[in-house]
Structure 1
Protein backbone atom coordinates (compact mmCIF):
# COMPACT_ATOMS: atom_id res chain seq x y z
CA UNK A 1 0.00 0.00 0.00
CA UNK A 2 1.44 3.39 -0.96
CA UNK A 3 2.70 5.58 1.87
CA UNK A 4 2.52 9.34 1.95
CA UNK A 5 4.07 12.03 4.14
CA UNK A 6 1.90 15.13 4.57
CA UNK A 7 2.88 18.51 6.01
CA UNK A 8 0.34 21.23 6.70
CA UNK A 9 2.04 24.52 7.58
CA UNK A 10 1.13 28.18 7.93
CA UNK A 11 3.48 30.62 6.22
CA UNK A 12 2.84 33.14 8.98
CA UNK A 13 4.53 30.88 11.56
CA UNK A 14 7.77 31.68 9.72
CA UNK A 15 6.91 35.41 9.72
CA UNK A 16 6.43 35.14 5.95
CA UNK A 17 10.17 34.45 5.58
CA UNK A 18 10.11 32.39 2.40
CA UNK A 19 13.64 31.06 2.87
CA UNK A 20 12.85 29.80 6.39
CA UNK A 21 9.58 28.29 5.16
CA UNK A 22 11.38 26.51 2.30
CA UNK A 23 13.93 25.09 4.77
CA UNK A 24 11.15 23.84 7.05
CA UNK A 25 9.32 22.18 4.16
CA UNK A 26 12.51 20.63 2.81
CA UNK A 27 13.49 19.30 6.26
CA UNK A 28 10.09 17.60 6.59
CA UNK A 29 10.78 15.38 3.55
CA UNK A 30 7.05 15.49 2.82
CA UNK A 31 5.46 14.11 -0.34
CA UNK A 32 2.59 16.61 -0.23
CA UNK A 33 2.43 19.99 1.49
CA UNK A 34 -0.41 22.39 2.19
CA UNK A 35 0.77 25.94 2.86
CA UNK A 36 -1.85 28.19 4.45
CA UNK A 37 -1.24 31.94 4.23
CA UNK A 38 0.73 31.36 1.04
CA UNK A 39 1.97 34.25 -1.13
CA UNK A 40 -1.11 35.94 -2.58
CA UNK A 41 -0.14 39.52 -3.35
CA UNK A 42 2.34 40.95 -5.87
CA UNK A 43 4.26 38.34 -7.87
CA UNK A 44 2.55 35.56 -5.93
CA UNK A 45 2.92 33.01 -8.75
CA UNK A 46 6.68 33.45 -9.11
CA UNK A 47 7.16 33.52 -5.31
CA UNK A 48 5.14 30.30 -4.96
CA UNK A 49 7.18 28.63 -7.71
CA UNK A 50 10.44 29.70 -6.03
CA UNK A 51 9.20 28.37 -2.68
CA UNK A 52 8.42 25.02 -4.28
CA UNK A 53 11.77 24.89 -6.08
CA UNK A 54 13.73 25.70 -2.89
CA UNK A 55 11.75 22.99 -1.07
CA UNK A 56 12.49 20.38 -3.74
CA UNK A 57 8.81 20.21 -4.75
CA UNK A 58 6.49 21.47 -7.49
CA UNK A 59 3.33 23.60 -7.33
CA UNK A 60 0.10 21.64 -7.71
CA UNK A 61 -2.23 24.64 -7.40
CA UNK A 62 -3.53 27.42 -5.24
CA UNK A 63 -2.16 30.72 -4.00
CA UNK A 64 -4.25 33.85 -4.41
CA UNK A 65 -6.88 32.04 -6.48
CA UNK A 66 -7.38 29.42 -3.75
CA UNK A 67 -7.86 31.64 -0.73
CA UNK A 68 -4.14 31.73 0.05
CA UNK A 69 -3.81 27.93 0.20
CA UNK A 70 -0.90 26.52 -1.81
CA UNK A 71 -0.53 22.81 -2.55
CA UNK A 72 2.92 21.38 -3.29
CA UNK A 73 4.04 17.83 -4.07
CA UNK A 74 7.09 15.83 -5.06
CA UNK A 75 7.53 14.30 -8.51
CA UNK A 76 6.28 10.91 -7.28
CA UNK A 77 2.73 12.27 -7.10
CA UNK A 78 0.52 12.41 -10.21
CA UNK A 79 -1.91 15.31 -10.51
CA UNK A 80 -5.03 14.81 -12.63
CA UNK A 81 -7.15 17.86 -11.76
CA UNK A 82 -7.07 21.00 -9.61
CA UNK A 83 -9.66 23.59 -8.74
CA UNK A 84 -9.51 26.82 -6.77
CA UNK A 85 -12.54 28.21 -4.96
CA UNK A 86 -13.03 31.60 -3.32
CA UNK A 87 -15.90 31.60 -0.84
CA UNK A 88 -18.66 34.10 -1.54
CA UNK A 89 -19.63 36.98 0.71
CA UNK A 90 -16.17 38.20 1.71
CA UNK A 91 -14.35 41.33 0.66
CA UNK A 92 -10.74 42.39 0.75
CA UNK A 93 -7.50 41.30 -0.84
CA UNK A 94 -7.39 37.89 0.88
CA UNK A 95 -10.83 36.27 0.87
CA UNK A 96 -11.13 32.76 2.32
CA UNK A 97 -11.25 29.84 -0.07
CA UNK A 98 -9.86 26.44 -0.96
CA UNK A 99 -7.64 24.59 -3.39
CA UNK A 100 -8.65 21.03 -4.28
CA UNK A 101 -6.41 18.60 -6.20
CA UNK A 102 -7.10 15.09 -7.48
CA UNK A 103 -3.80 13.26 -7.01
CA UNK A 104 -2.40 9.72 -7.06
CA UNK A 105 0.57 7.95 -5.53
CA UNK A 106 1.66 4.70 -7.21
CA UNK A 107 -1.78 4.37 -8.79
CA UNK A 108 -3.69 5.03 -5.55
CA UNK A 109 -5.91 8.09 -6.03
CA UNK A 110 -6.68 10.61 -3.30
CA UNK A 111 -7.88 14.19 -3.06
CA UNK A 112 -5.90 16.86 -1.21
CA UNK A 113 -7.66 19.99 0.02
CA UNK A 114 -6.19 23.16 1.48
CA UNK A 115 -8.88 25.49 2.86
CA UNK A 116 -9.15 28.65 4.92
CA UNK A 117 -12.52 29.27 6.55
CA UNK A 118 -13.85 32.49 8.04
CA UNK A 119 -17.02 34.03 9.37
CA UNK A 120 -19.53 32.75 11.90
CA UNK A 121 -20.55 29.13 12.42
CA UNK A 122 -23.26 29.17 9.74
CA UNK A 123 -20.90 30.71 7.17
CA UNK A 124 -18.19 28.18 7.95
CA UNK A 125 -20.60 25.25 7.68
CA UNK A 126 -21.66 26.54 4.25
CA UNK A 127 -17.98 26.78 3.28
CA UNK A 128 -17.36 23.20 4.41
CA UNK A 129 -20.30 22.03 2.29
CA UNK A 130 -18.92 23.95 -0.69
CA UNK A 131 -15.55 22.22 -0.20
CA UNK A 132 -17.31 18.84 -0.12
CA UNK A 133 -19.08 19.61 -3.41
CA UNK A 134 -15.79 20.57 -5.07
CA UNK A 135 -14.13 17.39 -3.74
CA UNK A 136 -16.91 15.28 -5.30
CA UNK A 137 -16.49 17.16 -8.59
CA UNK A 138 -12.69 16.72 -8.56
CA UNK A 139 -12.99 12.96 -9.04
CA UNK A 140 -16.36 11.27 -9.61
CA UNK A 141 -14.92 7.99 -8.24
CA UNK A 142 -14.77 9.72 -4.83
CA UNK A 143 -11.32 8.57 -3.68
CA UNK A 144 -10.34 9.24 -0.06
CA UNK A 145 -9.65 12.86 0.83
CA UNK A 146 -7.18 14.63 3.07
CA UNK A 147 -8.45 18.05 4.16
CA UNK A 148 -6.09 20.65 5.67
CA UNK A 149 -8.06 23.53 7.18
CA UNK A 150 -7.15 26.82 8.78
CA UNK A 151 -9.58 28.86 10.86
CA UNK A 152 -12.23 26.19 11.46
CA UNK A 153 -14.49 27.00 14.38
CA UNK A 154 -16.00 24.27 16.60
CA UNK A 155 -19.07 23.69 14.39
CA UNK A 156 -17.06 23.42 11.19
CA UNK A 157 -14.57 21.10 12.90
CA UNK A 158 -17.43 18.79 13.92
CA UNK A 159 -18.70 18.78 10.33
CA UNK A 160 -15.20 18.04 9.01
CA UNK A 161 -14.85 15.04 11.35
CA UNK A 162 -17.88 13.34 9.77
CA UNK A 163 -16.33 10.25 8.12
CA UNK A 164 -12.84 11.57 8.74
CA UNK A 165 -10.17 11.29 11.41
CA UNK A 166 -8.75 14.44 12.98
CA UNK A 167 -4.97 13.98 13.08
CA UNK A 168 -2.64 16.97 13.40
CA UNK A 169 -4.31 20.34 14.15
CA UNK A 170 -6.55 21.25 11.22
CA UNK A 171 -5.88 18.00 9.32
CA UNK A 172 -8.82 15.67 8.64
CA UNK A 173 -8.12 12.33 6.95
CA UNK A 174 -10.64 10.02 5.28
CA UNK A 175 -11.26 6.85 7.31
CA UNK A 176 -10.10 4.74 4.32
CA UNK A 177 -6.57 6.11 4.82
CA UNK A 178 -4.45 4.65 7.62
CA UNK A 179 -2.86 7.28 9.86
CA UNK A 180 0.58 6.41 11.20
CA UNK A 181 3.14 8.44 13.10
CA UNK A 182 2.65 12.18 13.58
CA UNK A 183 5.79 14.15 14.41
CA UNK A 184 6.93 17.76 13.86
CA UNK A 185 3.77 18.55 11.90
CA UNK A 186 4.30 15.65 9.47
CA UNK A 187 1.54 13.04 9.25
CA UNK A 188 2.46 9.64 7.83
CA UNK A 189 -0.40 8.13 5.85
CA UNK A 190 -0.99 4.84 4.04
CA UNK A 191 -3.33 5.01 1.08
CA UNK A 192 -5.65 2.12 0.20
CA UNK A 193 -4.54 -0.22 -2.57
CA UNK A 194 -5.63 0.96 -6.02
CA UNK A 195 -8.72 -0.79 -7.30
CA UNK A 196 -8.54 -2.32 -10.77
Structure 2
Protein backbone atom coordinates (compact mmCIF):
# COMPACT_ATOMS: atom_id res chain seq x y z
CA UNK A 1 0.00 0.00 0.00
CA UNK A 2 0.98 3.61 -0.50
CA UNK A 3 0.70 5.77 2.61
CA UNK A 4 0.24 9.53 2.35
CA UNK A 5 -0.24 12.43 4.70
CA UNK A 6 -3.07 14.49 3.22
CA UNK A 7 -4.66 17.78 4.17
CA UNK A 8 -8.01 19.44 3.59
CA UNK A 9 -9.10 22.91 4.54
CA UNK A 10 -9.69 23.14 8.26
CA UNK A 11 -12.57 24.50 10.24
CA UNK A 12 -13.52 28.16 10.03
CA UNK A 13 -12.41 30.34 12.88
CA UNK A 14 -14.96 32.05 15.08
CA UNK A 15 -15.58 35.78 14.70
CA UNK A 16 -13.70 36.47 17.94
CA UNK A 17 -10.57 34.99 16.34
CA UNK A 18 -10.74 37.08 13.16
CA UNK A 19 -8.47 39.83 14.51
CA UNK A 20 -5.84 37.49 15.94
CA UNK A 21 -3.02 35.89 13.98
CA UNK A 22 -3.28 32.13 13.85
CA UNK A 23 -1.48 29.65 11.66
CA UNK A 24 -3.80 28.03 9.14
CA UNK A 25 -5.37 24.95 10.68
CA UNK A 26 -5.84 22.16 8.22
CA UNK A 27 -7.51 18.82 8.73
CA UNK A 28 -4.65 16.31 8.52
CA UNK A 29 -5.27 12.75 7.39
CA UNK A 30 -3.41 9.49 6.86
CA UNK A 31 -4.41 8.24 3.42
CA UNK A 32 -3.88 4.64 2.37
CA UNK A 33 -3.95 3.60 -1.27
CA UNK A 34 -3.91 -0.19 -1.62
CA UNK A 35 -1.82 -1.68 -4.40
CA UNK A 36 -3.91 -3.42 -6.99
CA UNK A 37 -2.90 -6.82 -8.28
CA UNK A 38 -3.65 -7.70 -11.87
CA UNK A 39 -2.38 -11.25 -11.50
CA UNK A 40 -5.07 -13.94 -11.25
CA UNK A 41 -5.52 -15.60 -7.85
CA UNK A 42 -3.79 -12.74 -6.01
CA UNK A 43 -5.97 -11.40 -3.21
CA UNK A 44 -7.60 -8.15 -4.21
CA UNK A 45 -8.11 -5.45 -1.62
CA UNK A 46 -11.77 -4.88 -0.81
CA UNK A 47 -11.12 -1.11 -0.83
CA UNK A 48 -9.31 -0.41 -4.14
CA UNK A 49 -9.64 3.38 -3.76
CA UNK A 50 -7.64 5.51 -1.33
CA UNK A 51 -9.04 5.56 2.18
CA UNK A 52 -8.57 8.49 4.55
CA UNK A 53 -8.22 8.39 8.33
CA UNK A 54 -8.53 11.43 10.54
CA UNK A 55 -8.94 11.99 14.25
CA UNK A 56 -11.08 14.32 16.31
CA UNK A 57 -10.24 15.09 19.93
CA UNK A 58 -13.05 14.08 22.27
CA UNK A 59 -12.91 16.41 25.26
CA UNK A 60 -15.16 14.17 27.35
CA UNK A 61 -13.17 10.96 27.06
CA UNK A 62 -9.82 12.75 26.60
CA UNK A 63 -8.99 10.52 23.61
CA UNK A 64 -9.15 10.67 19.85
CA UNK A 65 -12.04 9.31 17.80
CA UNK A 66 -10.70 7.83 14.56
CA UNK A 67 -12.90 8.30 11.52
CA UNK A 68 -12.32 6.82 8.09
CA UNK A 69 -13.84 7.67 4.73
CA UNK A 70 -13.43 6.65 1.14
CA UNK A 71 -12.11 8.84 -1.66
CA UNK A 72 -15.59 9.97 -2.69
CA UNK A 73 -16.05 11.73 0.65
CA UNK A 74 -12.89 13.82 0.37
CA UNK A 75 -12.90 15.79 -2.85
CA UNK A 76 -11.49 18.81 -0.98
CA UNK A 77 -8.01 17.39 -0.44
CA UNK A 78 -5.46 20.15 -0.91
CA UNK A 79 -2.48 17.85 -1.37
CA UNK A 80 -0.89 14.48 -0.58
CA UNK A 81 2.64 13.72 0.58
CA UNK A 82 3.86 10.17 -0.07
CA UNK A 83 5.60 8.78 3.03
CA UNK A 84 5.68 5.10 2.01
CA UNK A 85 5.16 3.32 -1.28
CA UNK A 86 5.64 -0.18 0.10
CA UNK A 87 3.78 -0.39 3.41
CA UNK A 88 2.76 -3.93 4.27
CA UNK A 89 -0.72 -3.07 5.53
CA UNK A 90 -4.33 -2.81 4.49
CA UNK A 91 -7.21 -0.52 5.41
CA UNK A 92 -8.43 -2.60 8.36
CA UNK A 93 -4.94 -3.05 9.85
CA UNK A 94 -4.23 0.66 9.52
CA UNK A 95 -7.45 1.61 11.31
CA UNK A 96 -6.74 -0.88 14.12
CA UNK A 97 -3.21 0.50 14.54
CA UNK A 98 -4.40 4.12 14.67
CA UNK A 99 -7.24 3.38 17.08
CA UNK A 100 -4.96 1.44 19.43
CA UNK A 101 -2.05 3.88 19.37
CA UNK A 102 -4.08 7.08 19.59
CA UNK A 103 -6.26 5.88 22.43
CA UNK A 104 -3.23 4.99 24.51
CA UNK A 105 -0.90 7.75 23.39
CA UNK A 106 1.14 9.55 25.96
CA UNK A 107 3.94 11.12 23.97
CA UNK A 108 6.58 13.35 25.45
CA UNK A 109 8.63 13.60 22.26
CA UNK A 110 9.80 17.12 21.29
CA UNK A 111 7.88 16.99 18.02
CA UNK A 112 4.70 16.47 20.02
CA UNK A 113 4.98 19.85 21.73
CA UNK A 114 1.41 20.59 20.72
CA UNK A 115 -1.71 20.07 22.75
CA UNK A 116 -4.06 17.20 21.83
CA UNK A 117 -6.76 19.70 20.82
CA UNK A 118 -4.59 21.11 18.02
CA UNK A 119 -5.42 19.67 14.57
CA UNK A 120 -1.88 18.51 13.81
CA UNK A 121 -1.12 16.82 17.15
CA UNK A 122 -2.82 13.58 16.17
CA UNK A 123 -0.98 13.32 12.84
CA UNK A 124 2.36 13.65 14.64
CA UNK A 125 1.45 10.83 17.03
CA UNK A 126 0.13 8.75 14.11
CA UNK A 127 3.38 9.17 12.16
CA UNK A 128 5.38 7.98 15.16
CA UNK A 129 3.06 4.96 15.43
CA UNK A 130 3.62 4.15 11.74
CA UNK A 131 7.37 4.43 12.28
CA UNK A 132 7.27 2.21 15.36
CA UNK A 133 5.36 -0.46 13.42
CA UNK A 134 7.83 -0.08 10.51
CA UNK A 135 5.13 0.91 8.04
CA UNK A 136 7.12 4.03 7.17
CA UNK A 137 10.84 4.70 7.50
CA UNK A 138 12.08 6.82 10.40
CA UNK A 139 12.29 10.58 9.85
CA UNK A 140 12.04 13.69 12.00
CA UNK A 141 8.32 14.37 12.35
CA UNK A 142 8.86 18.03 13.26
CA UNK A 143 10.84 18.63 10.05
CA UNK A 144 8.21 16.71 8.11
CA UNK A 145 5.42 18.94 9.45
CA UNK A 146 7.42 22.04 8.45
CA UNK A 147 7.70 20.59 4.94
CA UNK A 148 3.99 19.66 4.95
CA UNK A 149 2.88 23.17 5.96
CA UNK A 150 5.08 24.70 3.22
CA UNK A 151 3.74 22.25 0.63
CA UNK A 152 0.11 22.99 1.55
CA UNK A 153 0.80 26.76 1.50
CA UNK A 154 2.23 26.38 -2.03
CA UNK A 155 -0.82 24.40 -3.10
CA UNK A 156 -3.16 27.07 -1.73
CA UNK A 157 -1.07 29.86 -3.25
CA UNK A 158 -1.72 28.79 -6.86
CA UNK A 159 2.00 28.37 -7.49
CA UNK A 160 1.39 25.42 -9.77
CA UNK A 161 2.56 22.97 -7.12
CA UNK A 162 1.62 19.34 -7.88
CA UNK A 163 -1.24 17.83 -5.88
CA UNK A 164 0.89 14.83 -4.90
CA UNK A 165 4.57 14.75 -3.96
CA UNK A 166 6.91 12.27 -2.36
CA UNK A 167 8.58 13.40 0.87
CA UNK A 168 12.12 14.14 -0.41
CA UNK A 169 13.88 12.99 2.79
CA UNK A 170 12.51 9.48 2.27
CA UNK A 171 12.30 9.44 -1.52
CA UNK A 172 15.48 11.04 -2.78
CA UNK A 173 14.63 9.87 -6.30
CA UNK A 174 11.10 11.32 -6.18
CA UNK A 175 11.77 13.47 -9.25
CA UNK A 176 12.31 10.27 -11.26
CA UNK A 177 9.14 8.61 -10.01
CA UNK A 178 6.27 8.59 -12.45
CA UNK A 179 2.62 8.73 -11.64
CA UNK A 180 0.11 6.72 -13.65
CA UNK A 181 -3.60 6.99 -12.80
CA UNK A 182 -2.74 8.29 -9.29
CA UNK A 183 -0.34 5.40 -8.57
CA UNK A 184 3.40 5.85 -8.14
CA UNK A 185 5.42 3.66 -10.52
Q: Which has the larger radius of gyration?
A: 2
Q: Quick check: which one's strand share is greater? A: 1
Does TM, scored on the shorter chain, surpass 0.5? no
- TM, length-normalised to structure 2: 0.28
